[in-house]
Amino acid sequence: MPNRRPVLIVEDDETLRNMLTEYLEETGEFVVSTAADIEAADKVLANEDAHFDAIILDIGLPDGDGRDYCARLRRAGHSMPIMMLTGAIEETDVVRGLDSGACDYIAKPFRASELLARLRAQLRNFDRSEQVVFPVGPYTFRPAKKLLHDTAKNRRIRLTDKETAVLKYLYRSDTAVNRQILMHEVWGYNSAVTTHTLETHIYRLRQKIESDPAHPALLVTEGGGYRLRPEMASVERW
Ligand code: CA
């Protein structure tokens, strides 16, 4: 299923962790990774391929305080929504949680449906925000600014609205996206856009982002459509 968003749950309560994992994955919107403590979370995040759109973080963890961990993640440059779970409901804790850089705060016990609603809201906000940055090959991709930045070469590439939308949609999909689906998602279901238009946009995007546009490494043709391979970090550049 395309478009499933990676979420990390850091929670030492195994029952709750499994319940939340199952609940979120059943929606078909998320693919969940888990960690039972801070040490395990660090290992998951240190993985080169690791990318998470959101983190659900318990405050009371066996090897530290989730709020301190949240603050550490922010200092390390992680900007995704972080939702705190806690057993303590004192207001001071809420304030401290938000001070540490958490986006939202849910007191246990909570309904999974409430967490889901708030997670979706956080992701919507974040997607619209200026900070969201996706790694795409040698670039950092800032959809809000319609910009790709090759930090190693300090080269900036401006994208059009549609190029940005295409790239963003492909980034969100684990797999190849069929041309029809991509056209519907980017131009809308009622538009009369043709395959030729889509192909023209893909052609221009490749001219901008590929080191060899005739042999694309990042934006490849696959399965009746296209696939973005953002992990192709070591693409040869000019
Ligand atoms: Ca706990």
**How far is ligand 1, taken at its centre, from the CA of residue 89, in Å?**
14
Cα distance between residue 94 and residue 166, in whole Å:
38
Q: Give the mean pLDDT of the chain.
A: 87
**How far is ligand 1, taken at its centre, from the CA of residue 112, in Å?**
16
**How far is ligand 1, taken at its centre, from the CA of residue 5, in Å?**
24
**How far is ligand 1, taken at its centre, from the CA of residue 10, in Å?**
9
**How far is ligand 1, taken at its centre, from the CA of residue 56, in Å?**
12
35-52 residue pLDDT tens: 999 999 999 999 867 789
Extract the tokens encoding 79. Answer: 């900007």
For the residues of the chain, what is the DSSP string, one character each?
-TTPEEEEEE-S-HHHHHHHHHHHHHTTSEEEEEESSHHHHHHHHHSTT---SEEEEESEETTEEHHHHHHHHHHTT--S-EEEEES---HHHHHHHHHTT-SEEEESS--HHHHHHHHHHHHHHHHHSS---EEETTEEEEGGGTEEEETTTTEEEE--HHHHHHHHHHHH-SS-EEHHHHHHHHH-TT----HHHHHHHHHHHHHHH-SSTTS-SSEEEETTEEEE-TT-TT----
234 band by pLDDT with thresholds 50, 70 and 90: very low
90: phi then psi, degrees, rounded to nearest 5: -65, 145
**How far is ligand 1, taken at its centre, from the CA of residue 87, in Å?**
8
pLDDT, average across residues 198-222: 94
- Residue list, CB under 5 A from ion ligand 1: 12, 58, 60
**How far is ligand 1, taken at its centre, from the CA of residue 81, in Å?**
20
**How far is ligand 1, taken at its centre, from the CA of residue 30, in Å?**
22
Cα distance between residue 32 and residue 87, in whole Å:
22
User: In the chain, what are the domains?
Assistant: 5-128 (3.40.50.2300), 134-232 (1.10.10.10)
Nearest-10 Cα torsion for 94, 100, 101, 105: -20
**How far is ligand 1, taken at its centre, from the CA of residue 21, in Å?**
16
CA angle 56, 80, 22 (to 5 degrees): 35
Extract the tokens encoding 138. Answer: 């040698």
CB 10 within 8 A of CB 54: no
Sheet holding 225-228, edge to edge: 177-178, 225-228, 219-222
162-195 residue pLDDT tens: 999 999 889 877 689 999 989 988 988 777 888 9
**How far is ligand 1, taken at its centre, from the CA of residue 66, in Å?**
9
**How far is ligand 1, taken at its centre, from the CA of residue 12, in Å?**
5
**How far is ligand 1, taken at its centre, from the CA of residue 121, in Å?**
24
235 band by pLDDT with thresholds 50, 70 and 90: very low
pLDDT value at residue 237: 39
